[in-house]
Chains A and B, each alone.
Chain A
Amino acid sequence: MDLSLRHIRHSYDDVEVLRDINLEITQGQIVCIIGPSGCGKSTLLRIIGGLERPDAGEVLQLGEPPADCLNPLTYIFQDFALLPWRTVEGNVSLALEDHRLGAAETAAIIEDVLARTKLSDFRAAYPRQLSGGMKQRVAIARALSVRPAVLLMDEPLSALDSQTRELLMDDLIDLWEKENYTAAYVTHNLAEAVRLGHKIVVLSRRPGEIREIVEIDMPLSARRADNPELEAIQAQLWQLMRDEALAADRELVDV
């Protein structure tokens, strides 16, 4: 299933945050959306998943999601959004309970996603007992449990320290190698974008418009942090963003 964004436009009260966004999210690709803070990247992601209604324009699903897919557009949030009163297992099962799958199938899915995210030993732990990286892995397990067609990730690594971020990024890459998931990945971290993105969309400062779309052909597994080609792309992206970021930094925030 592909997604197509057509002429998306959005304002909060009088403040225009997104202006004429046109973007294709193709199956099996990770699309990274970067831009200075306050440029409307998170708003755009909420619009893509149907959590917010744009003032104009539309997000189209091209093709049907796979038949076994329970929740086609599934988010992974920056702050993990785990229920503190549920265990790891309970948090995953929350996403499944409304689908009436039967106890055996639910248990099998939970078993499977916890194994894939290496969380099987922590199934009875509460979120407060877990580190930030583990919490985000629980959120990833929960997202995988509904077999999404497109993963919508809103700065999933930004709340983590840099070592954990590195580990979790490797996990995301491994996972992509195995399952070829489709994703829209919002971040302000250029290094993450060049490591994970097949396509990198650079937004301008508010009102957010697409300034540039950079495609990287190198396979994800071949991308190392010190690869000169990636470094060149990252420098190029930084050139694009630098002035925008500087100007955005000096704006007053009213929204």
Chain B
Amino acid sequence: MSDKPASDKPPPLPEDARPVPFRGGGFRPKPKRFIGPLVFIGLIAFWEFGSRVGFISALVLPAPSEAFDAFMNLVHSGLLWKHLSASLQRLVLGWASGTALGVIVGVLIGLFSLARSSLSPLVSAIFPIPKIALLPLFIIWFGIGEGSKVATIMFGTFFPTVIATYGGIDNIDRGLIRMGQSFGLSRASIIRKIILPGALPAILSGARISAAIAIILLVAAEMIAAEYGIGAYILLAGSLMATDQLIAGVAILSVLGLVIAWLIGKAEKYFLKWRA
């Protein structure tokens, strides 16, 4: 016996020997750094170039530099912060209350037969209604002030959260609940320690969707007699055909969306670190 590990002695190679063709791999996109920002920069550069050269008419689409000038005007006039703080306040209030209520109702639907049979058809019936269509009603119900604006966002974020939450609860491994019962855990303990943590991944991915919906509805909400707010700024720019301001406002919303998605990503990393 030698020290070398045992192995078969390869036979002499015949004429027609060839390697086995590779046919695995793929189907697994990996994130590549810098590609995303590069696409952004490339697109904006092309747009700016087109505007300068003239094949994109200023009437059709203002140059990015013009939109940036409009944005800087906003900054220098001090109005940016006024618009942004008004919008953020509505967004945070509406989204937080909509999400909180949505989680509560979602848990009820997820746990109780009565709530499920009574509320889930209601949710299916109201979810697809465009909330913008209900604006006049909201104004009557909640007044022309902040109430109707917050209510629009709240209403819009409530339904996707309900659906995400009870979907998450439905998908919890029944074996874990049975385990909790077998150790004599109280109902409250099972809900708090098994059901809610188990539904959290679904609730957080629901939060991603509802945050985007909240931003979409912000513009709709600020159609209601708003003096300040990014949505109000965009609407005013639109009615004055000030397309450079319009683009600047839309870009602000887009950045807002990116920031919120990043924050939710951070929250997922923190709360779901057990998922690897």
**A interface vs B, CB < 8 Å?**
49, 51, 71, 73-75, 77, 79, 81, 83-86, 94-95, 97-98, 126, 128, 142, 146
Given the complex, which residues of B lie within 8 Å of A74, measured CB to CB?
182-183
Per DSSP, chain B at the interface is helix
On whether the beta carbons of A77 and B175 are closer than 8 Å, the reply is yes
A-B contact pairs, 26 of them (CB 8 A): A49-B182, A51-B178, A51-B181, A51-B182, A71-B182, A73-B182, A74-B183, A75-B182, A79-B175, A81-B173, A81-B175, A81-B176, A81-B178, A83-B193, A83-B194, A84-B274, A84-B275, A85-B274, A86-B274, A94-B180, A94-B193, A95-B183, A97-B189, A97-B193, A98-B184, A142-B183
What's the Cα separation between A117 and B66 when bound, in Å? Answer: 70
Docked pose: A142 CA to B194 CA in angstroms: 16
B41 within 8 Å of A by Cβ? no
Given A51-B182, A81-B179, A126-B276, 11 further pairs, Cβ under 8 A: A51-B178, A79-B175, A81-B178, A84-B274, A84-B275, A85-B274, A94-B193, A95-B183, A98-B186, A98-B189, A126-B274
Closest to B188 in A: A98
Write out the residue numbers on chain A whose beta carbons fall within 8 Å of the beta carbon of B180. Answer: 94
* Contact in complex: B182, A83 (CB < 8 Å): no
Closest CB in chain A relative to B204 CB, distance in Å: 13
Q: For the complex, what is the distance from the CA of A83 to the CA of B181, rounded to whole Å?
A: 14
Bound: A146/B197 CA distance, A = 23
- Residues of B243-276 at the interface with A, using a CB-CB cut-off of 8 Å, are 272, 274-276
Contact A85 B179 (CB under 8 A): no
Shortest Cβ gap from A218 to chain B (Å): 31
The interface bits of chain B over 147-189 (1 if a CB of A lies within 8 angstroms of the residue's CB, else 0) are 0000000000000000000000000010110111111111001
> For chains A and B in complex, what number of residue pairs have CB atoms within 8 angstroms?
52
Query: Residue of B at shortest CB range from A127?
Result: B274
Chain B residues near A84 (CB-CB < 8 A) = 274-275
Chain A interface, DSSP helix/strand/loop, else mixed: loop
Complex Cα distance, B192 from A83, in Å, reads 13
Complex interface: chain B residues within 8 A of A146 (CB): 183
CA distance A71 to B184 in the complex (A): 7
B176 proximity list for chain A (CB < 8 A): 81, 83
Closest beta carbon of chain A to B167's beta carbon, Å: 18
Q: Which of B181-228 contact A (CB under 8 A)?
A: 181-186, 189, 193-194, 197-198, 200
Point out the residues of chain B lying under 8 angstroms from A81, CB to CB: 173, 175-176, 178-179
Query: Measured between C-beta atoms, what is the minimum distance from B82 to chain A in Å?
Result: 42
Which residues does chain A contribute within 8 Å of B272, judged by CB atoms?
Answer: 85
Q: Kindly state the separation between the CA atoms of A97 and B275 in the bound complex, as whole angstroms.
A: 24
Residues of A within 8 A of B173 (CB): 81
- The answer, among B179, B197, B198, B274, for a CB contact under 8 Å with A128, is B274
Instruction: Report yes or no: B197 in contact with A98, Cβ–Cβ below 8 A.
Output: no
Residue of A nearest to B183 (CB): A95
Minimum CB–CB distance for B156 against chain A, Å: 30
A84→B182 CA distance, assembly (Å): 18
Q: Which residues of B contact A85 (CB under 8 A)?
A: 197-198, 200, 272, 274
A79 and B198 CA atoms in complex are apart in Å by: 17
A73 to B110, CA, bound (A): 29
CA distance A49 to B200 in the complex (A): 30
Report Cα–Cα, A97/B189, bound state, in Å.
9
State A74–B179 Cα separation when bound (angstroms). Answer: 9
State whether B182 touches A94 (Cβ < 8 A): no
